[in-house]
Structure 1
Amino acid sequence: MNQTIETLLHHRSIRKFKDQQLTTEQIHTIIRAAQQASTSSHVMAYTIIGVTDPSLKSELAKVSGQPYVKENGHLFVFCADLKRNQQLGSAEEQVVIQENMESTEQFIVTVIDAALAAQNAATAAEALGLGICFLGSLRNDIQRVSSLLNLPDRVVPLFGLAAGYPDQQPEIKPRLPLEAVYHENTYPSPERQQQLIQEFDKELLNYYQNRSSNARKATWSSQMIDKYKKPTRLDVGPFVKEKHLNKQ
């Protein structure tokens, strides 16, 4: 099998890392790979912040609630960023530019650009023999993270990416069957979706009950129901608008 495909298919989140920092060469290789991701209209509407200050890592770990935000080989924070582009043009042009930047469309562009870059970074890290874990938990207090990182207007912290040398080898978590996420020409019937979900629930329950650590009794359905029954991070929407993004 192609080595790149094999790397992608063997992805698993690593939540325990060895006490070994990434080299500057490794970090720059990961960033260069991230920069080669596709970007809408060559906008490149993201910024990546590498966090090396131990005290800053500790503060971010408090926001996240996860120890591996602090204990890793390197911590990257991916941000949606239209501040860089806002500064272009004459004073008159900037008035129009800034107004257009506040649209939902342009916010979607920044988020997609950052996500594509982050996935390239993750694949590059794993190709180097490292492990990674995405950290949406940094949005538990998005205002605090923004303050800690001194993020200006039109820059929003989206998620972190912890990378390092794995100190665990977790099993690969099952994914929904291909038939549940890929459809030709039309969306499937609810009955077909329910059938596929029920089959996946059985597979995931077996995985959770038999994995080498943190065994539990849960299905995909039960986790999704619990997730969406409880509102979370409702401050993110107002925060984004305060940053003059996604306002129209």
Structure 2
Amino acid sequence: MTTPEELLAARYGAPTQWTPPEWNDTLDLLHRHRSVRKWLNEPVDEDTIRTIISAAQSGATSSNKQVISVIAVRDPELKNGLATITRQMYPHLEQVPVVLIWLIDYSRIRAVAAREDLPTGALDYLDEVGLGFLDAGIAAQNAAIAAESLGLGTLYLGSVRNDVEAVQELLGIPPEIVPVVGLEVGHLDPSEPAGIKPRLPQEAIVHWDTYSAPDPLLIDAYDQALNTYYSRYGQHQLWSRQTAHRAASESVTKTNRQFLRRVLERAGFGLK
């Protein structure tokens, strides 16, 4: 895949009916993204990690509150502990040199509010938690793009929310600070066969000016495109069926994600 048209065809599982008016290295990098689960036994040095984090901090942050912190986990025992908590099926987490755990962290705001003798009543409202999750996503995505621009691979770990309290205990995180997502960063093993996974067609997600319900046939077409992609690696459940099952309550209650409200309330958020 060397041309924009080839990359777009891989990203959507079929040739697109539109052509980008321009193309550049940033667009090329973004369209080549893939999740990596097989790592070379090579470290990522501290200066590289700091460079990636500086890129993360360069992302937008709501009202410049900067409510995100990050833990760079390199210790093998801690990575093994994270693998157990997050219930990984494959040993990628134990093998990756560093895992960045992104945190919603209002400790700095609480400290300056106390210094100014002001209440933190805004934390009683759901919006504050929402902007924490939003800022964590922005920071983590900037970090992923930065890492991939340096020739590294990445893998998101939403599974840190499988048991937030266990992650807090493992990494010495106070109860008022909430881990929300992890990002593995390392040197990808070129022998890993995973490629560019197709996404839903734009016709299913893009709405011009007002919202319109998508054609159900677009879901069927996507099922076929993704099934063709997975056929290279063996059988895989259709996206529509798998996603429907993941929307069922059992997908939450079989882990400790069902207790996330308790974690957030213990962290001092009112969720009004």
Does TM-score exceed 0.5, indicating one fold?
yes
Secondary structure of the residue that 2:258 maps to in structure 1? coil
Aligned pairs for 1:48-87 (under 5 A) are 48-66=70-88, 67-87=91-111
2:26 paired residue number: 4
2:160 paired residue number: 138
1:244 and 2:268 are equivalent in the alignment: yes
The question of whether the paired residues in 1 share the 8 Å contact of 2:52 and 2:146 is answered with yes
1:216 and 2:235 are equivalent in the alignment: yes
Secondary structure of the residue that 1:41 maps to in structure 2? helix
User: Match for 2:196 among 167, 172, 180?
Assistant: 172
- Give the number of equivalent residue pairs: 241
User: Match for 2:179 among 128, 145, 157?
Assistant: 157
Aligned pairs for 1:164-203 (under 5 A) are 164-167=186-189, 168-189=192-213, 192-203=214-225
Unaligned stretches of 5+ residues in structure 2 = 1-22
Deviation of 1:216 after TM superposition, in Å, equals 1.2
Unaligned stretches of 5+ residues in structure 1 = none
CA distance in structure 1 between the aligned counterparts of 2:115 and 2:29, rounded to whole angstroms? 48
Deviation of 1:16 after TM superposition, in Å, equals 0.8
CA distance in structure 1 between the aligned counterparts of 2:160 and 2:175, rounded to whole angstroms? 18
Name the CA shift for 1:244/1:89 in 2 (closer, same or farther; >3 Å).
closer
Mean alpha-carbon deviation: is it higher for 196-205 or for 157-166? 196-205
Deviation of 1:27 after TM superposition, in Å, equals 0.5
Secondary structure of the residue that 1:235 maps to in structure 2? helix
1:106 and 2:128 are equivalent in the alignment: yes
CA distance in structure 1 between the aligned counterparts of 2:140 and 2:170, rounded to whole angstroms? 21
Aligned pairs for 1:118-133 (under 5 A) are 118-133=140-155
Name the CA shift for 1:143/1:92 in 2 (closer, same or farther; >3 Å).
same
The question of whether the paired residues in 2 share the 8 Å contact of 1:107 and 1:246 is answered with no
Moved over 2 A (4+): 89-94
1:29 paired residue number: 51
CA distance in structure 2 between the aligned counterparts of 1:111 and 1:70, rounded to whole angstroms? 26
Secondary structure of the residue that 2:117 maps to in structure 1? helix
Deviation of 1:45 after TM superposition, in Å, equals 0.9
Secondary structure of the residue that 2:156 maps to in structure 1? strand
Deviation of 1:206 after TM superposition, in Å, equals 1.4
The question of whether the paired residues in 1 share the 8 Å contact of 2:168 and 2:175 is answered with no
RMSD: 1.5
Deviation of 1:208 after TM superposition, in Å, equals 1.4
Calculate percent identity across the aligned residue pairs: 35
Deviation of 1:70 after TM superposition, in Å, equals 1.9
CA distance in structure 2 between the aligned counterparts of 1:37 and 1:169, rounded to whole angstroms? 31
Counterpart code for 1:7: L
2:112 paired residue number: 88
